[in-house]
Amino acid sequence: LNPISKDLSTEESGSTSSSPDSSLTGNVERRQAGDCNHLQVVQVQEKKLLNLKELLSSTKAEFGDLQSQFQNDLKQMECQIEELTTAAQGYHKEIFEYTAGSDLHLDLIQKM
Protein backbone atom coordinates (compact mmCIF):
# COMPACT_ATOMS: atom_id res chain seq x y z
CA LEU A 1 0.00 0.00 0.00
CA ASN A 2 1.10 3.46 -0.70
CA PRO A 3 1.00 6.13 2.06
CA ILE A 4 -2.13 7.77 0.67
CA SER A 5 -4.10 4.55 0.72
CA LYS A 6 -2.93 3.85 4.30
CA ASP A 7 -4.33 7.21 5.45
CA LEU A 8 -7.60 6.55 3.65
CA SER A 9 -7.95 3.08 5.11
CA THR A 10 -7.45 4.31 8.69
CA GLU A 11 -9.93 7.13 8.20
CA GLU A 12 -12.52 4.76 6.77
CA SER A 13 -12.10 2.22 9.56
CA GLY A 14 -12.55 4.98 12.13
CA SER A 15 -9.52 3.94 14.14
CA THR A 16 -7.88 6.67 16.10
CA SER A 17 -4.18 6.38 16.06
CA SER A 18 -2.00 8.37 18.30
CA SER A 19 -1.33 10.94 15.65
CA PRO A 20 -0.45 14.45 16.77
CA ASP A 21 -3.81 15.75 15.52
CA SER A 22 -5.87 13.33 17.62
CA SER A 23 -3.66 13.96 20.63
CA LEU A 24 -4.18 17.72 20.26
CA THR A 25 -7.92 17.24 19.93
CA GLY A 26 -7.95 15.19 23.15
CA ASN A 27 -5.90 17.81 24.96
CA VAL A 28 -8.19 20.60 23.77
CA GLU A 29 -11.26 18.65 24.90
CA ARG A 30 -9.71 17.96 28.30
CA ARG A 31 -8.67 21.60 28.64
CA GLN A 32 -12.17 22.77 27.72
CA ALA A 33 -13.68 20.37 30.25
CA GLY A 34 -11.19 21.61 32.84
CA ASP A 35 -11.96 25.23 31.98
CA CYS A 36 -15.66 24.49 32.36
CA ASN A 37 -15.00 22.90 35.74
CA HIS A 38 -12.88 25.88 36.82
CA LEU A 39 -15.62 28.23 35.68
CA GLN A 40 -18.16 26.34 37.78
CA VAL A 41 -15.84 26.46 40.80
CA VAL A 42 -15.33 30.20 40.35
CA GLN A 43 -19.08 30.75 40.01
CA VAL A 44 -19.76 28.77 43.19
CA GLN A 45 -17.08 30.74 45.03
CA GLU A 46 -18.50 34.04 43.76
CA LYS A 47 -21.95 33.02 45.01
CA LYS A 48 -20.52 32.08 48.40
CA LEU A 49 -18.66 35.38 48.54
CA LEU A 50 -21.86 37.31 47.79
CA ASN A 51 -23.64 35.37 50.52
CA LEU A 52 -20.85 36.20 52.96
CA LYS A 53 -21.03 39.89 52.01
CA GLU A 54 -24.78 39.90 52.62
CA LEU A 55 -24.28 38.12 55.94
CA LEU A 56 -21.63 40.64 56.98
CA SER A 57 -23.91 43.52 56.05
CA SER A 58 -26.85 42.13 58.01
CA THR A 59 -24.57 41.35 60.96
CA LYS A 60 -23.30 44.94 60.98
CA ALA A 61 -26.89 46.23 60.93
CA GLU A 62 -27.93 43.90 63.75
CA PHE A 63 -24.86 44.89 65.76
CA GLY A 64 -25.76 48.56 65.33
CA ASP A 65 -29.30 47.85 66.53
CA LEU A 66 -28.02 45.90 69.53
CA GLN A 67 -25.53 48.63 70.37
CA SER A 68 -28.29 51.25 70.25
CA GLN A 69 -30.58 49.11 72.41
CA PHE A 70 -27.72 48.57 74.88
CA GLN A 71 -27.16 52.34 75.15
CA ASN A 72 -30.88 52.87 75.79
CA ASP A 73 -30.88 50.14 78.44
CA LEU A 74 -27.88 51.73 80.16
CA LYS A 75 -29.64 55.11 80.25
CA GLN A 76 -32.75 53.52 81.76
CA MET A 77 -30.63 51.73 84.36
CA GLU A 78 -28.90 55.01 85.20
CA CYS A 79 -32.29 56.67 85.82
CA GLN A 80 -33.46 53.74 87.93
CA ILE A 81 -30.25 53.78 89.97
CA GLU A 82 -30.65 57.52 90.58
CA GLU A 83 -34.24 56.92 91.75
CA LEU A 84 -33.12 54.10 94.05
CA THR A 85 -30.28 56.25 95.40
CA THR A 86 -32.68 59.08 96.18
CA ALA A 87 -35.10 56.65 97.85
CA ALA A 88 -32.28 55.04 99.85
CA GLN A 89 -31.05 58.45 101.03
CA GLY A 90 -34.57 59.35 102.14
CA TYR A 91 -34.88 56.01 103.93
CA HIS A 92 -31.57 56.53 105.76
CA LYS A 93 -32.66 60.04 106.74
CA GLU A 94 -35.94 58.67 108.13
CA ILE A 95 -34.13 55.90 110.02
CA PHE A 96 -31.68 58.42 111.49
CA GLU A 97 -34.51 60.72 112.57
CA TYR A 98 -36.47 57.79 114.01
CA THR A 99 -33.40 56.56 115.90
CA ALA A 100 -32.70 60.06 117.20
CA GLY A 101 -36.34 60.38 118.27
CA SER A 102 -36.25 57.00 119.98
CA ASP A 103 -33.07 57.92 121.82
CA LEU A 104 -34.64 61.20 122.94
CA HIS A 105 -37.75 59.34 124.05
CA LEU A 106 -35.66 56.85 126.07
CA ASP A 107 -33.70 59.68 127.67
CA LEU A 108 -36.93 61.36 128.73
CA ILE A 109 -38.29 58.11 130.17
CA GLN A 110 -35.09 57.49 132.13
CA LYS A 111 -35.12 61.01 133.57
CA MET A 112 -38.64 60.62 134.82
Q: Please give the full DSSP string across the chain, using - where no structure is assigned.
A: --HHHHHHHHHHHT-----HHHHHHHHHHHHHHHHHHHHHHHHHHHHHHHHHHHHHHHHHHHHHHHHHHHHHHHHHHHHHHHHHHHHHHHHHHHHHHHHHHHHHHHHHHHH-
Please report whether residue 43 resides in a domain.
Answer: yes
Please report whether residue 25 resides in a domain.
Answer: yes
Q: pLDDT (tens digit, 9 = 90+) per residue, 28-68?
A: 666 666 677 888 999 999 999 999 999 999 999 999 999 99
Number of domains observed in the structure of the chain: 1
**What predicted TM-score, i.e. pTM, was given to this entire model?**
0.48
According to the model, what pLDDT value does residue 6 have? 47
Please report whether residue 5 resides in a domain.
Answer: no
Please report whether residue 11 resides in a domain.
Answer: no
Of residues 31 and 81, the one with the higher pLDDT is 81
Q: Provide mean pLDDT across the span 14-35.
A: 60
